[in-house]
Structures are given as C-alpha cells and as structure tokens.
Amino acid sequence: MPPANLTPNKWPKNLTSDHLHRLVRAERDPRRALALFDAATAASTSAPDPITPSPDTVSLLTSRLASAGHLPLAASLLSRSRGHFPSADALEGPFLTLLRAFSRTHRPLAALHLFRSAPSDLALPHSARSYTAVLAALVAHSQLHLARSLLADMRAAGFAPTAATYNVLLKAHCSDAAAPIEDALRIFRNIRKPDACSYNTIIDGLCRRGRLAEALELFSEMVGKCIAPTVVTYTTVIHWLAREGCFDDALKLFDEMGRRGISPNLVTYSSLIDGLCKGGRASSALELLDRMIKEKKLPNTITYSSVIDGLCKEHRLSEAMEVLDRMRLQGRKPDAGLFGKVYQSTRTRSISTEPTTFHLLVESLSKKDNLEKAAHVVLDMLSERCIPERETWDVVISGYWGKKKVRQEAEEIWNQLTVS
C-alpha cells in the first residue's frame, strides 16, 4: 500500500466525488493518487467525511496503476471499491482494464486467475465481455488449450459469443500454424455481422498459408459489403502481393489507399519497397522512398537497407551510395552488414569508393568486434591507392590495443601508415 504520509494536509471544504476525481486526475504519481483516493473514501481523521467515489474515478485510477505496472495495487483497489457500488456493473470497466493490463505485461495466467476468482473475491459476476477479454489474453500468448477450455465454459454458462469473441477465436485459429484454415473460415462465416477486424484476421490467415487468391476475394467481398478496409487490411494484402511478385497489383492497391483517404504507414511503405527491391524494381522503390520522405514518414534502417540492397543487385552503385548518404544525413546508422553489401559490390565491379565510405565500414566492423575484417578493408584501400583517413587508422589500431590482441598486428598496421 502507498504510504499514508502522501495524503494532503488540507482538504477542500465540502469535498465531493467530482473534487476527488479532479485530484486523482491531476496527480501524476499513481501511488500518490491512490493515497488520495484511500484517504478520501475511508473513514479517517484526514478527510472531513468519507465520500463515495464515482465509477469513472475508480476506472481512471485502476487504469493508471495498471499502466504503471502496479497490478497488485490495482487489484486491491478494485476489491476495496466493490462496497461503494450496489451494482457490479459499475466496476466492469475497471475490471476489464485490469484483465487487459495483465495481458499487456505477459501474464495471461494471472488474468485467468483474476477472472476465475472475481465472483467470490470481488463479487463481480462473469460477463460476455470479461470472458472475451481473458480469451484475448490467452490467445495473444499462445495458450490455445486454455482458450478452448474457457470458450467451452463460456457457452456452458449461457453466454453467446459476440462479434468480439469470434474475432478472438479467429485470431486463435489463424495464429496456430497447425490449425486448418478451414476451421477459421467456418468461424468467420458464423459471424452474423463481421467487422473490419474479422476480415483483417481471416485475410491475414489465408495469406500466411499461401491462399492469396481467396484472401483477395474476401477483400473484394469486404468492400462490396461497405465495410471500409483499414490501413491494416491494405498493408496485409500489399505485403503478400509484393511477396508473390504481383508488383503492379500491389502498386495499384497502394494508390487506391490514397484515393480512399487512408494514409499508408511505415509498415505499408517498407513492405512494398522491400518486395519491389527483391523483384528487381528498384526504380519504383526509389520513387516510393521519395514519396515517403515527402509525407514526413521517415524511413527506418530496414527500409533503407532494402533500397540499397536492391540497387546493388541491379549494379546501380552510385545511386546506392547516394541513398547511403541520405540515410546517414537523416540520422540512421548503417550497420556492418549494409556497408559490407556496398563494399562487396564495389570490389566485384572494380569501382572506386571514397575514403569516407571505407572509414564508415571500418568503424562499423570494429564496433561489431570484427577487427580482422576491418584491417583487411584498410589493406584493400591501400592496394587500390585509396589513402585512409587518419580516423580510419585510429579506429583499427585502438581496437587492437583496446582488445589486448597480439600487438604485432597493430604495429604492422602502424608500419603501413608510416611507410605510406
């Protein structure tokens, strides 16, 4: 429990539940907020008169405690608050918040235990929503056998699965590689009013099992039923179209997103760019990269790596170097593997590289503890009459000395420097 000395010395006159809500909301520290709550709602000398909190205050405080990782305190709060409300319905929101918090912190079994004990410990009856919340937690953490058992309990208790419940079941079947996708399709067809989440889940499941054509049919069905595809829907279909080499269809769908007013996110761009580069369409990928930057969606290292790799494979090394420079200017640090691709392309095609590029490769290799490779790059530079920068020598020599390697290597490199 929070220490009692966190309560205020002076309370507002005529303290009300609205006052308490504002105090809890204004206090940044959730433990201090809990101390305020306890002092105001318990019979004590610190507050003028104990007050009855509003359900919104309990919900707010439960959420803040759970988000800060204070799950035992949140559970205790819920238990102590039950006596303030004649109807259990007032606490269903905070209860669901706590169940989801256990899931977010990778504790699905704790969520299940809390759910099982709720009728006796919290006097909170089970509901379709609480069943669904625990099912979602179990499915998200691959506890599928427990999820199936809980679903059987739900039906035995007389709760008909809702659309949200069906969506959880869909996710369970689609995420289980061993489960036949036909079972997921049967569940999907049993949903009276499938929503975008339902379609997104089954479309992704079909794509992952190589059934892209059926996924596209469901995408068309979704649009035909006036269920608006989301960015998740488009990203999923675009990713798998690009992966299967259907680049024109993927680009067409990408343009359709814009016409529908749906803004592609980083994953959408990266998936399409990666597919285009692997399929020998680096020019299209470069156009998307430019468009991405204009829309102020800064590419990450993976996106840049895809473009540079694609350009290298198409022997467009000068453009690859330009993208590498853009990457560095935007604060993205290329790793040794990416530098290695560019470097290897220059070596196999006898293309000269600037000392700065060599230096970045040497520095990156040294940080990866590949000092021997870094030293070989320096020797290759010398053989190509490319004089390393002083910083390049410093990186390699200090690396050998710092690692207490045989100092002969460092001395040999130093001799190369003085002779050159």
CATH of the domain at 63: 1.25.40
Query: 214 with 239: CB under 8 angstroms?
Result: no
Residues 305 and 198 in one domain: no
Residues 223 and 233 in one domain: no
Query: Is there a domain that residue 188 lies in?
Result: yes
Run of H or E residues at 345: helix 336-348
State the pLDDT at residue 398.
66
Residues 153 and 26 in one domain: yes
Query: Is there a domain that residue 271 lies in?
Result: yes
State the pLDDT at residue 122.
83
Burial pattern 196-223, b for ≥16 Cβ within 10 A else e, equals: ebbbbbbbbbbbbeebbebbbebbeebe
State the pLDDT at residue 260.
92
For residue range 312-324, list pLDDT tens digits in order.
Answer: 888 787 788 788 7
Give the residue among 326, 241, 312, 328 at the shortest CA–CA distance from 277.
312
Q: How many domains does the chain have?
A: 4
Show contacts of 244-250: CB within 8 Å, 24+ apart. Answer: 244/212, 245/275, 245/279, 247/275, 247/276, 247/279, 247/281, 247/284, 250/275
Residues 124 and 2 in one domain: yes
Distance CA 24, CA 255 (A): 47
Residues 7 and 54 in one domain: yes
Residues 5 and 144 in one domain: yes
State the pLDDT at residue 383.
61
Distance CA 104, CA 356 (A): 45
Show contacts of 342-345: CB within 8 Å, 24+ apart. Answer: 342/308, 342/312, 342/317, 343/377, 345/312, 345/315, 345/317, 345/320
Query: Is there a domain that residue 348 lies in?
Result: no
Residue 78 has phi, psi (to 5 degrees) of -60, -45
Residues 21 and 57 in one domain: yes
Query: Is there a domain that residue 378 lies in?
Result: yes
CATH number at residue 252: 1.25.40.10
State the pLDDT at residue 114.
93
Query: Is there a domain that residue 401 lies in?
Result: yes
Q: Which domain holds residue 258?
A: 229-334
For residue range 10-54, list pLDDT tens digits in order.
Answer: 666 677 888 888 888 998 999 999 988 888 887 554 555 678 888
Distance CA 342, CA 361 (A): 9
Domain stop point among 95, 130, 157 = 157
State the pLDDT at residue 45.
46
Give the residue among 294, 253, 240, 292 at the shortest CA–CA distance from 269.
292
> What is the token pair recorded at 241?
């179209």
Query: Is there a domain that residue 342 lies in?
Result: no
**What is the full per-residue pLDDT of the chain (420 aa) written as tens digits?**
454 455 555 666 677 888 888 888 998 999 999 988 888 887 554 555 678 888 889 989 998 998 888 989 998 898 888 888 878 788 888 899 999 999 988 999 999 999 999 998 888 899 999 999 999 999 999 898 899 899 999 999 999 888 889 899 898 888 888 888 999 999 999 888 999 999 999 999 999 999 999 999 999 999 999 999 999 999 999 999 999 999 999 999 999 999 999 999 999 999 999 999 999 999 999 999 999 999 989 898 889 889 988 988 887 877 887 887 788 788 887 665 665 666 565 555 444 455 555 565 566 666 656 666 666 666 665 565 656 666 766 676 666 656 555 556 656 666 666 655
Residues 17 and 150 in one domain: yes
Run of H or E residues at 365: helix 355-367
Q: pTM value? A: 0.69
Residues 48 and 120 in one domain: yes
Query: Is there a domain that residue 345 lies in?
Result: no
Q: List, in order, residues 6 or more apart from 215 with CB less than 8 Å away.
A: 203, 204, 206, 207, 237, 240
Residue 257, CA distances (Å) to 235, 248, 267 in order? 10, 14, 14
Residue 42 has phi, psi (to 5 degrees) of -100, 150
State the pLDDT at residue 350.
43
Residues 206 and 222 in one domain: yes
Query: Is there a domain that residue 214 lies in?
Result: yes
Decide: residue 384, CB within 10 A, 0-12 exposed, 13-18 middle, 19+ buried.
middle
Residues 14 and 143 in one domain: yes
Residues 214 and 233 in one domain: no
